[in-house]
Structure 1
Amino acid sequence: MSLSNEALTGGFAEPVYNAQSVFKMLMDAMARPGTIQTVAPEVVPPAPLGLAAGAIALTLCDHDTPVWLSATLGKSAVPAWLGFHTGATMTDDRLEARFALAEAVTTLSSLGQFSVGTQEYPDRSTTLIQEIESLEGGAEFALSGPGIRDISMIAPKGLPENFLRVWNENRAQFPRGADLVLTAGRHFLCLPRTTKITATEM
């Protein structure tokens, strides 16, 4: 089966330099939860995968990282695009996935459906890259924990109604647990499993 032109194009123009740039932003975002980062390199992933989500996937995925995709992404050109540009293989087994990607409006009942690592190896967990409508303009949440001085505020728009329950269940498993990257267009922020999230009063 031949690859479509959509799968062959739209990657990093300068793969090594661009991947290093995005990786540095990811490390900074994980170290400072809730800080919005803006992806500079231009990538054109197949719809409905957004620019930041695509750039992060190109940066993190390789032939040793099984990737789980939400149903809509799995039916698009994204699997072929990721396979061509990174060598990553797709998996239907959420517990096997090192990275998971979901487009906006995807609702997850629990992060525990993915790998949360073990007590001995908590790093063997899944990082979920979740596209949402926007990282601003939504309900406000207060963040606290490692990497945050006092309190940091975020206002993501498009999170599922059950987000706080899902997050609190995930955080309660520490040191195990999944890490979350929220993306919108070319912007993203990171929520490592150590972050406490509290809804603010309306």
Structure 2
Amino acid sequence: MAHDDTLIGAGFSHPVFQSQGAFRALLAALSEPGLACDLGDAVAPPAGLEPATAVALLTLADYETPVWLPAALRDGPAGAWLRFHCGATLVEYPARAAFAVIDGAVAEPKLTAFNAGDDQFPDRSTTVLVQCAGLAGGDAVTLAGPGIPGQRSIAPTGLRPGFWTEVEDNAALYPLGVDLLLVHGAQVLGLPRSTQIVEAR
């Protein structure tokens, strides 16, 4: 391991103000599904995390919220960075996570591997951050549901075959199900469990 790999990068320089701004942007993304929100460049993320992923986790994760990362990230600089800045426990099993990060192009884990909540505590489901190649330029997907006037189209790229079928199946579980945040660069696009896939090409 190179010396630079052992160094843990900085977190927020102004934690209160930066986390408040990021939290508002994340709420906006989930309350208006399909509209990308910018989380800014408040931190230089560790290898393997998009800037928006790093900002979201700094804002949302703490010692009470277990995080799941792919093994290569969990055991590398990204895992060390999250442990240091968030105090979060990194779990091995997806179903135990409050927050998770996946590569949208990789076949596993499926969305069904994460905690969908239960009848008593639907809010205790996993929020999954899906890192993708882009939030535009792909095949169009039409969304409908709360927060969407009529319908809204999105066209993210870098998602595995069958991903939108997984999203449809997740929405069918409502009020259970996972909430999704598609991330690329500094931007995030919310897909809460209440969002319906009207058409996917």
Fold-level match, TM-score > 0.5?
Answer: yes
**Paired residue secondary structure (1:56):** helix
Residue matched to 1:103: 103
Cα RMSD between the aligned structures?
A: 1.8
Sort the Cα spacing of 1:48 and 1:109 in 2 relative to 1 into closer, same or farther, 3 A: closer
Matches within 5 A, 1:80-119: 80-108=80-108, 110-119=110-119
Pairwise CA distance, 1:109: 5.4
- Percent identity over paired residues: 38
Pairwise CA distance, 1:130: 1.0
Does residue 59 of structure 1 match 2:59? yes
Structure 1 residues not aligned, in runs of 5+: none
**Paired residue secondary structure (1:8):** coil
- Structure 2: distance between partners of 1:7 and 1:57: 19
- Structure 1: distance between partners of 2:16 and 2:106: 31
- Structure 1: distance between partners of 2:80 and 2:5: 10
**Paired residue secondary structure (2:188):** strand
Pairwise CA distance, 1:58: 0.5
Higher mean alpha-carbon deviation, 76-85 vs 7-16, is at 7-16
Residue matched to 2:164: 164
In the alignment, residue 162 of structure 1 is paired with which amino acid? Answer: G
Q: TM-score, normalised by structure 2?
A: 0.93
**Paired residue secondary structure (1:157):** coil
- How many residue pairs get aligned? The number is 199
In the alignment, residue 189 of structure 2 is paired with which amino acid? Answer: L
Higher mean alpha-carbon deviation, 80-89 vs 108-117, is at 108-117
Q: TM-score, normalised by structure 1?
A: 0.92
Residue matched to 1:137: 137
In the alignment, residue 23 of structure 2 is paired with which amino acid? Answer: F
Higher mean alpha-carbon deviation, 113-122 vs 6-15, is at 6-15
Pairwise CA distance, 1:21: 0.5
Pairwise CA distance, 1:7: 5.1
- Structure 2: distance between partners of 1:127 and 1:7: 28
**Paired residue secondary structure (1:18):** helix
- Structure 1: distance between partners of 2:6 and 2:143: 39
Residue matched to 1:75: 75
Residue matched to 1:13: 13
- Structure 1: distance between partners of 2:12 and 2:95: 29
Sort the Cα spacing of 1:5 and 1:71 in 2 relative to 1 into closer, same or farther, 3 A: closer
Q: Is contact 2:9–2:46 with CA below 8 Å preserved after alignment?
A: no
Pairwise CA distance, 1:108: 3.5
Q: Is contact 1:48–1:103 with CA below 8 Å preserved after alignment?
A: no
Pairwise CA distance, 1:31: 0.6
- Structure 1: distance between partners of 2:28 and 2:122: 20
Residue matched to 2:155: 155
Q: Is contact 2:58–2:86 with CA below 8 Å preserved after alignment?
A: yes
